[in-house]
Structure 1
């Protein structure tokens, strides 16, 4: 049978821990400099705002401070810790105040070179910065300015499908779905990277996700080898996408686990499960009946749940073929359109003999429980001798696209 949850939800993007960011904020003049209540790149002289006791003279020290992460002119990325960096001096104290005078907590580094906020900045908010420094010549210097954070309307973000430190199946691509249209795919793709040890040939390829959002997947030419160490990089800070700007900088390392694969033959009505290429077990199954044939081609495990309700209305099946099953056990999801491997005790006696499902791969409760304990996120399940091939955006169906055609889907091809 087929069951569909509402849309395809990739694993949620993990919320980054607070961390010190090392983004460099650049303008034509270099670092964005805050000085004397302006955002000019020209530092104010110590004479203009030096504290008593500072050195005198026509051209005192040019100690300056800079903001990060900053993008889109001189605006600052919101919802991240703020970092104030000193150049030509050491920070003694920093105060960053928002509307109503509320200040951000923060701490000056032991070497006086930087100050990092303990709280994230807010979107579309103007802050006032005041910094006290000791310049290289020993003079006391004050610096002050205002800055504004970007609004949510000015940024675009991508949700990715891999988690830090996780172990995944050999067929899992790296997939990124963007919350807003990507007008400059080449610029965005340049900000994405996948590296691995051992190194493999791989490529990004763009598509529309099932809900119409822009999506780009990276896969190697063939399945990952077990034990491969993979690192996904996202450096979109300051990347322009039409009138939008990127804000994300991520580095996600994960490992490829055991090679677990399943092949379903709809003619012999069997599922063959292998580990590292060796046949472990052959299971009699019942696949999609006529007009409800199971998708042909390779699908990838998206999720698992021990029990689920399957209601045919969620996949548009009504009338005589309608069903509503409240407790279907050992469910392994293969597509967001509703293809699952699951226990189907109501078809007892048909496994290995008759295809009678509405598109799912059914088997005995015992066999389904056994397979459920082994298949996991990113493992490939290939259906052979069926009819229509699963689409590349229906889950991770990109393995059914010929390699040369897949590479042409890159914006940098």
Structure 2
């Protein structure tokens, strides 16, 4: 009896569960009831999108998950029998597709999982992706590997009008090295541009991603494909023209690099001014043909032409106006140079170089698709959709 009391006290010290074992384990009492044995778990499988789902977005990944078991096989195929790429996680419980889906297609999936009971379960099903009323193409400028001037904007243009501008803008990303402050602005319902707050720093590296595939622009219209570009900002060159001075000055990194006598638009007629404002070199054309029946000339050929607006202004040679170059403003809005000077400037110019004009009676109209620097920064920011 002394020995049994000692064992009982020890059991209390060790905890209640041990007390029960000690008291019933000597064979004197009735047999203890054994705890129920749980059956091994049976696996289950779910999928997202669920079977029979309609209008599935093409950019959302397909996910197949196993509960109380592991996936042993997953296959997702399109209506043509092509298999969708995907990856299984380390735990082998979730499979995720790794490529976008196609518009207006039916996808079928089959998945198998094994539970703790060693038995296999299977899930099969299908779903349909969204079918656009129309897909809209977008283009991106500057193009890959371009080297452009410090005033060059990034421009995304759409084939048709975009209703949901915010959705489109959210898909746009600009990365720069070094970091540059800038913003997107919608110049029309078919064009959104990004420009820096100030001119680009020279030699900036720029990467642009327009992840527009699958983006709903409104009215059942969706983005056709993603577009990207990678380009570089070149040296800093800026042209400055104060029209009453009859001189075009070229600056490099803030210091005057060259100076050329010029004849600008007629001072007396605002319709013929070389207008005030900051524009950029848009094209470089070794020769161009000028026509303006209103002012009595057609098929006039000029050399070393740099377009600076879609309003009709160029910087170009005009030897026929030699007597007025450097003395009087007599052009119809263009900047006239001697041929040798026009060639020298043409060779130095780069698409995207800023051209700053002051001193005229009229301002550049903001109707061109390249009007980015005609807007002050606060106005520019107000044109964002976000």
TM-score w.r.t. the length of structure 1 is: 0.66
Q: Indicate whether 1:365 and 2:339 are aligned.
A: yes
Alignment of 1:40-189 (within 5 A): 62=45, 73-74=55-56, 76=58, 89=71, 96-98=78-80, 126-127=105-106, 129=107, 135=113, 143=124, 145=126, 147-148=128-129, 150-151=131-132, 153=134, 155-189=135-169
Aligned mate of 2:296, from 303, 307, 321: 321
Cα RMSD between the aligned structures? 3.8
Identify if the C-alpha distance between structure 1 residues 152 and 334 changes in structure 2 by more than 3 Å, giving closer, same or farther: farther
Partner of residue 260, structure 2: 283
Structure 1 unmatched ranges of 5 or more? 1-56
Shift of 1:235: 3.7
Aligned residues: 329
Alpha-carbon distance in structure 2 between the residues aligned to 1:302 and 1:91: 56
Please name the residue that 1:310 is paired with.
290
Aligned to 1:234: 210
In 1, distance between residues paired with 2:175 and 2:105?
A: 39
**1:169 Cα shift?**
1.1
In structure 2, what is the Cα distance between the partners aligned to 1:72 and 1:166?
Answer: 43
Cα distance in structure 1, aligned partners of 2:222 and 2:72:
31
Measured in 2, the distance between the counterparts of 1:390 and 1:372 equals 22
TM superposition shift of 1:381: 0.9
- Partners of 2:335 and 2:214 lie apart in 1 by 46
Q: Which has the larger radius of gyration?
A: 2
Unmatched tracts of structure 2, length 5 or more: 1-39, 90-94
Which of the residues 277, 299, 320 maps onto 1:346?
A: 320
TM-score, structure 2 normalization = 0.70
- Larger mean Cα displacement after TM superposition, 137-146 or 377-386: 137-146
In structure 1, the residue corresponding to 2:126 is in which secondary structure? strand
Kindly state the Cα deviation for residue 259 of structure 1 after the two structures are TM-superposed. Answer: 0.4
Q: CA deviation at 1:96?
A: 3.6
- Change over 3 Å in CA distance of 1:196–1:355 after alignment to 2: same
How many Å apart are 1:139 and its aligned residue? 5.6
Aligned to 1:243: 219
What SS does the aligned partner of 1:159 have? Answer: strand
Q: CA–CA distance in 2 between the matches of 1:165 and 1:141? A: 50
Mapped to 1, the partners of 2:73 and 2:231 lie a distance apart of 38
Aligned mates of 2:168, 2:54 — CA distance in 1: 15
Q: Residue 384 of structure 2 corresponds to which residue in structure 1?
A: 410
Any conservation in 1 of the 2:78–2:84 contact (CA below 8 Å)?
Answer: no
**Are the equivalent residues in 2 in contact too, given 1:63–1:141 (CA < 8 A)?**
no
Q: Give 1:75 shift.
A: 5.2
Q: In structure 1, how many angstroms separate the alpha carbons of the residues matched to 2:290 and 2:73?
A: 62
Distance, in Å, in 2 between the alignment partners of 1:239 and 1:75 is: 9
Residues in 2 aligned to 1:403 and 1:255: alpha-carbon distance in whole angstroms = 23
Q: 2:251 and 2:54 mapped to 1: Cα distance?
A: 51
Q: Distance in 1 between matches of 2:109 and 2:378?
A: 56
Please say if 1:223 is aligned against 2:199. yes
Asked if the contact 1:92/1:108 (under 8 Å) is kept, the reply is: no
How far 1:362 moved relative to its partner?
A: 1.9
